[in-house]
Amino acid sequence: MGLRAEAVCGAAEREAVSWDGVPLGIREELDALPADILSRSGKVFYVGAEALQKHSQIYLLGLNPGGDPDDRLGGSTIGQDLKAFRERKAPWSAYADESWRGRPPGTWGMQPRILHLLRGLEANLRFTPASNVVFVRSRRENDLEREKEDLLRACWPVHQAVIDSLRVRVVVCLGQTAGRWVREQLDAHQHVDWFKETNGRGWASHTHQGADGRQVVSVTHPSIANWCNPDADPTSLVVRAMKRANTG
């Protein structure tokens, strides 16, 4: 199936869904987000409510939304984003269904690379929970470091509720910083696997395991690594983590 066709899925898949179907633990943590977080530019989930209603073996986590936090025309506040999330009535994924930079849905930047990964995992992107470790938008990763502890304190309870409620066993982190922050929260420090690109660059992705067997896979960031190229594709690493989580 082509990217265009995959991005605009058939009506049969787009059945009405309800915010009420999201587990209570997740809804409570979303309702508990502090006002100073809700008023800032950012985004919470990259999927619709239906992706949070059933068991999911994997959870996709980036570090935080990119872009200019002062550009109110270019991005909503976290509170506005949550309102849209609650009101959306159909399966949806920002990676498959959102137009980025005016391009057709699912075709810009890292969108096709995320689609490629999920196809390799035989998972439906619209039913796979996806978010960022931190919901607040920033221009640069370094801008977050000054607020790291406060931001994690505000945002992580939502992720913990997703992981617990949906019985997530593999957290796939986009980039090494997101992976490091997630490993700290989940106490997953045992290095169990890795994948090194077979191109001249040789960037590496790593899997760490927690005492409970949960896997944290820190992959190269798809904004700069082309996962659609076999030499840079970390899909096999994630597949192995899923198998390991099933047997652990």
Q: 10-residue block means of pLDDT along the chain (248 residues)?
A: 42 50 96 96 96 97 80 75 92 93 91 97 97 92 86 95 98 96 97 96 97 97 96 98 88
Work out how many domains the chain is built from and give that number. Answer: 1
pLDDT at 126 (0 to 100): 96
Question: Could you tell me if residue 7 is inside a domain?
Answer: no
Cβ atoms of 229 and 112 within 8 Å: the answer is no
Residue 248, token pair as written in the block? 């652990």
pLDDT at 19 (0 to 100): 75
Question: Could you tell me if residue 1 is inside a domain?
Answer: no
Question: Could you tell me if residue 112 is inside a domain?
Answer: yes
Question: Could you tell me if residue 12 is inside a domain?
Answer: no
d(C-alpha 158, C-alpha 32), whole Å: 9
Range of the domain at 191: 17-247
Question: Could you tell me if residue 33 is inside a domain?
Answer: yes
Here the CATH number for the domain that contains residue 48 is: 3.40.470.10
Cβ atoms of 106 and 97 within 8 Å: the answer is yes
pLDDT at 69 (0 to 100): 61
pLDDT at 179 (0 to 100): 97
Question: Could you tell me if residue 242 is inside a domain?
Answer: yes
Question: Could you tell me if residue 9 is inside a domain?
Answer: no
Q: What is the dihedral of CA 188, 177, 116, 135, to 10 degrees?
A: 100
What's the pTM value of the predicted model, to 2 decimals? Answer: 0.89
d(C-alpha 177, C-alpha 11), whole Å: 38
